[in-house]
Amino acid sequence: MLTRLFTTLCGWSPALRRALWRFWYDFLGGRYRQRDWTFMNYGYEPLDDAEPRLQLAPEDEPDRRCIQLYDHLARSVALQDKWVVEVGSGRGGGCAWVHRRYAPRGTRGVDFSGEAVALCRRRHRHAGLSFVRGDAEDLPLKSSRVDVVMNVESSHCYGSRERFFREVARTLKPGGAFLYADFFSEEELRDVRRWLAEAGFVAERDLDITENVLRAMELDSEWKREKIERMLPGGLAGLFGQFAGLKDTRIYTTFRERTLTYRSFVLRKRT
């Protein structure tokens, strides 16, 4: 019931959608500060045995499938010695992992939730890694300064993806890379492709990874359910279960029935 109400309200107007998602992420960042909760994506699981298995440190194993979604994007371009920005960095796990793994010159996470940014600054302390509060549709970044922008499962919260894409193009250097993953209806996907082209991007990869995401959701569902039930009382646990994409939740079903598809893009700003 709560999930349906939230979804309905988000569809009323872009301004209301932005406000509701900001409230939600501020609530999560301020109320739930567990050190073992730093990722908030549905994950990615390879389906092809030929795809090499990602080697992780033991402390990263619980978040394997969330990390694999970041790696699916990050390994597509050279990041070493580059300036990297993640827009929608959330609780910072993905941004921090990419920074540690791929050794860019500098990495900055930008998020519109002040509570999330404060959480990241306390938790992820690495040389060259920083977090700032900022609006995806009006990024606090100078023009043509960034080599790579990442955006993972965040843009569905924005008031205008079109404005967001223009901001990414503004901040990237000519030839810079935009690594992008999110889920879309068929109509949204048509608009997204048009807006990306109009913003000045050329797609090097436009890939349907819905089955990979579904498999990750299935593999992680039980331990996520147990963790949620330990953390939260009954009614709120149900809402969090929907948000976390447990098996047979509404979002899981929309992927399985392909009402929504999950896609990953590797894009280049035209020179």
DSSP-derived secondary structure for 95-164: HHHHHHHH--SEEEEEES-HHHHHHHHHH---TTEEEEE-BTTB-SS-TT-EEEEEEES-GGGSS-HHHH
Strand order in the sheet with 83-87: 129-133, 106-111, 83-87, 146-152, 172-184, 261-269, 201-208
Which phi and psi (to 5°) does residue 212 adopt?
-65, -40
- Say if domain 2-34+58-269 classifies as CATH 3.40.50.150: yes
pLDDT averaged over 10-residue windows placed end to end, the chain, 271 residues: 49 60 58 70 92 91 97 97 97 97 98 92 96 96 98 94 98 98 97 98 98 97 86 71 87 96 98 87
Nearest to 204 by CA among 52, 73, 50, 42: 73
Number of neighbouring beta carbons within 10 Å of residue 17: 20
Predicted confidence (pLDDT) per residue in 206-242, tens digit: 999 999 999 999 999 998 888 888 777 666 777 778 8
pLDDT 10s digits, 125-134: 999 999 999 9
| In the block, residue with structure tokens 């992008």 | 180
Q: Which has the closest alpha carbon to 115: 252, 230, 218, 23?
A: 23
**Domain extents in the chain:** 2-34+58-269
